[in-house]
Amino acid sequence: MEATLYYELNTENRDFAKRMLRFLRNNFWLYIPDLILLVLLVLPPYQMEKTLMIISGLVVLGFRDLVVIRRSTYYLSQFKVEEQMVSFSILRYNQPYLTRKNHISNVELVREYRPYRLLIKENNAVIHQQYALGYWNKAKLEELYRKFNDLKQDVSMESMFKRSL
């Protein structure tokens, strides 16, 4: 039985800046408080306390952006299962960072919630955490998880029956 699975980022999702702008566009509602605080900052002069409160609000909201950037710095570029071998590559910003190839029995995908992410483990060591951002939304990560585990079960069943023959 030839088992294959193939996911690869398209060229528009490989660019880090475009990924971040696409996240901003798709989650515009997150940035409404930023816009309101910027408008309040530009309006007529306030007392020093009010100005400091507005600036501190912008700084707090800026931490959200740092978290998003940190979670999308390393991005799963390719995931392929072919002839019981799993290969995957990870981008760091725009450049290839890591490429691994291992037998399917040594690779494991683990779902975690809050925030939703997919862990790629190799020999019980976490190699990569892919958060549900951009191309890898929750539905796509769930699909990859489900298909990979179905494929892994099929391969395990096939190898069990081969041994018994």
Residue 22, domain extent: 16-71
91 and 158 share one domain: yes
43 and 82 share one domain: no
Structure tokens given for 118 = 């997919």
Structure tokens given for 44 = 């007529």
87 and 62 share one domain: no
Q: The whole model's pTM is what?
A: 0.80
22 and 51 share one domain: yes
Instruction: Give the number of domains in the chain.
Output: 2
- 130/75 Cα distance (integer angstroms): 7
Matching residue, tokens 């975690």: 112
Note the pLDDT of residue 165. 46
| pLDDT tens-place string over residues 58-113 | 999 999 999 988 988 999 999 999 888 999 999 999 899 999 999 988 999 999 99
109 and 87 share one domain: yes
Note the pLDDT of residue 159. 59
90 and 56 share one domain: no
91 and 154 share one domain: yes
Note the pLDDT of residue 1. 47
Average the pLDDT over 157-163 and give the result: 57
**What CATH number is attached to the domain comprising 156?**
2.30.29
67 and 87 share one domain: no
Peptide bond into 96 cis (omega under 30): no
| pLDDT tens-place string over residues 9-56 | 888 888 898 888 888 888 899 999 999 999 988 887 778 888 888 899
